[in-house]
């Protein structure tokens, strides 16, 4: 009996060990399967996440490249905008001078009628004057077409009294109003209709723009650029040659506390006659600095600007934040030593 019991115990022990072995093996196999499955799922998840991250990165890079391409296209479009507008109009005027001489009498008559039509406004007493008297001649340097961060940084690095003229914010360059806050003295570069320039800015003022539209534009500029005092035209050869259009604009600029500076992109500008009807002095560009992107040429234009300032007591020179222009300005201390470089805000002040 005891022998049989002993045999059964050994047998049971054998079967128990076998069960444990099988159970352990099953657990190992299950763990192995789970491990393999986990690794597979991890790799699958990692691969998916990696692909998603890669796709997002590629999309971001593509978006940045598109913005860069758009910005470069915009810079190409506007690079010589005022200069191109001015030169085309100047050449056109010169070419048509001979033929227009024969029509001068009839033209003069119709012009007189047009002028009379816009002389309805009574002349007011000048409430302001140009502050250009002093021991040293004064020079105002304006850089037009300021729209991007790198231009702002480049102007600051010059360390000169330069007045940047900012484009109004648009989808293409939405942050101009923010950049303007970094300057104590700045102005606004208002897009206006050109005769010969196809690359118009957003919300460009046209000769047929209504008074309501112009006021909306001007009011938004006052809201976005609260400290700006001066506005000059971007292109605008057609607009500034149209007395009716300028008569709609000037009173609205005055209403919102702005003073107009004529970039003189056309020899046919009527700005002087219009502003004087309202009792405002005529402020205009005397010289463009960078008709050519050449450092020697730009330095020579600066010398001409200094000569004008010495002759008149002051001068206004307009350039653009292009590489060669910035290089020329950085090397201009020898040229500018004979004039007092001032901001546009310091040229014009209210009379006592």
pLDDT tens by residue, 252-285: 999 999 999 999 999 999 999 999 999 988 999 9
Read off the pLDDT band of 66 (50, 70, 90).
low
pLDDT at 37: 81
pLDDT at 15: 60
Residue 247 has pLDDT above 50, yes or no: yes
pLDDT digits 0-9 by tens, 316-346: 999 999 999 999 999 999 999 999 999 999 9
Residue 8 has pLDDT above 70, yes or no: no
Q: What percentage of the chain carries pLDDT values higher than 90?
A: 58
Distance (Å, whole) CA 248 – CA 235: 18
Task: Collect all residues with Cβ–Cβ distance below 8 Å to 5 and sequence separation of at least 6.
Answer: none
Q: What percentage of the chain carries pLDDT values higher than 70?
A: 72
pLDDT digits 0-9 by tens, 77-89: 555 566 667 666 6
pLDDT at 102: 38
The whole-model pTM stands at: 0.71
Inter-residue contact 254 to 279 (CB < 8 Å): no
pLDDT digits 0-9 by tens, 29-52: 888 888 888 888 777 776 676 677
Neighbours of 71 (CB within 10 A): 15
Q: What is the mean pLDDT of residues 212-237?
A: 98
Read off the pLDDT band of 21 (50, 70, 90).
confident
pLDDT digits 0-9 by tens, 106-144: 333 333 333 333 333 344 444 555 666 678 999 999 999
N- to C-terminal Cα separation, the chain: 134
pLDDT at 116: 30
Residue 239 has pLDDT above 50, yes or no: yes
Task: Write down the residue that tokens 């109004």 correspond to.
Answer: 168
Residue 228 has pLDDT above 80, yes or no: yes
Distance (Å, whole) CA 222 – CA 231: 11
Q: Which residue has the higher pLDDT, 183 or 93?
A: 183
pLDDT at 117: 37
Residue 16 has pLDDT above 70, yes or no: no
Q: Which residue has the higher pLDDT, 119 or 23?
A: 23
Q: Which residue has the higher pLDDT, 234 or 112?
A: 234
Q: Which residue has the higher pLDDT, 54 or 26?
A: 26
In this structure, the dihedral spanned by the alpha carbons of residues 319, 324, 327 and 328, taken in order and rounded to 10 degrees, is -60
Distance (Å, whole) CA 352 – CA 79: 41
Q: Which residue has the higher pLDDT, 18 or 193?
A: 193
């Amino acid at each position: 009996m005891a022998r049989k019991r002993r045999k059964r115990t050994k047998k049971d022990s054998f079967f128990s060990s076998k069960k444990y072995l099988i159970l352990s093996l099953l657990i190992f196999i299950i763990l192995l399967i789970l491990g393999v499955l986990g690794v597979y799922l991890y790799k699958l998840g990692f691969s998916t996440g990696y692909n998603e991250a890669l796709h997002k990165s590629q999309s971001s890079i593509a978006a940045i490249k598109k913005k860069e391409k758009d910005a470069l296209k915009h810079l190409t479009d506007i690079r010589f905008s005022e200069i191109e507008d001015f030169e085309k109009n100047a050449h056109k005027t010169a070419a048509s001078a001979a033929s227009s001489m024969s029509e001068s009498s009839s033209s003069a008559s119709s012009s007189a009628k047009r002028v009379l039509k816009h002389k309805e406004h009574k002349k007011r007493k000048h409430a302001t004057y140009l502050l250009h008297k002093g021991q040293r001649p004064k020079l105002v340097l304006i850089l037009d077409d300021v729209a991007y961060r790198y231009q702002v940084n480049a102007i600051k690095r010059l360390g000169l009294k330069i007045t940047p003229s900012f484009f109004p914010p648009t989808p293409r360059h939405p942050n101009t109003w923010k950049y303007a806050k970094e300057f104590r003295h700045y102005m606004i570069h208002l897009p206006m209709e050109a005769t010969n320039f196809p690359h118009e800015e957003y919300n460009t003022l046209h000769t047929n723009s209504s008074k309501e539209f112009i006021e909306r534009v001007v009011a938004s500029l006052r809201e976005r650029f609260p400290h700006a005092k001066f506005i000059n035209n971007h292109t605008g050869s057609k607009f500034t040659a149209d007395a009716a259009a300028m008569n709609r604009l000037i009173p609205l600029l005055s209403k919102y506390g702005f003073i107009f500076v004529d970039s003189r992109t056309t020899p046919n500008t009527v700005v002087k006659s219009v502003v004087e009807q309202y009792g405002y002095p005529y402020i205009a560009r005397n010289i463009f600095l960078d008709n050519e992107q050449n450092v020697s040429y730009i330095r020579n234009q600066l010398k001409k600007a200094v000569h004008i300032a010495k002759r008149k007591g002051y001068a206004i020179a307009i350039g653009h934040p292009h590489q060669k222009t910035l290089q020329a300005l950085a090397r201009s201390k020898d040229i500018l030593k004979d004039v007092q470089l001032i901001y546009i805000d310091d040229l014009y002040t209210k009379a006592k």
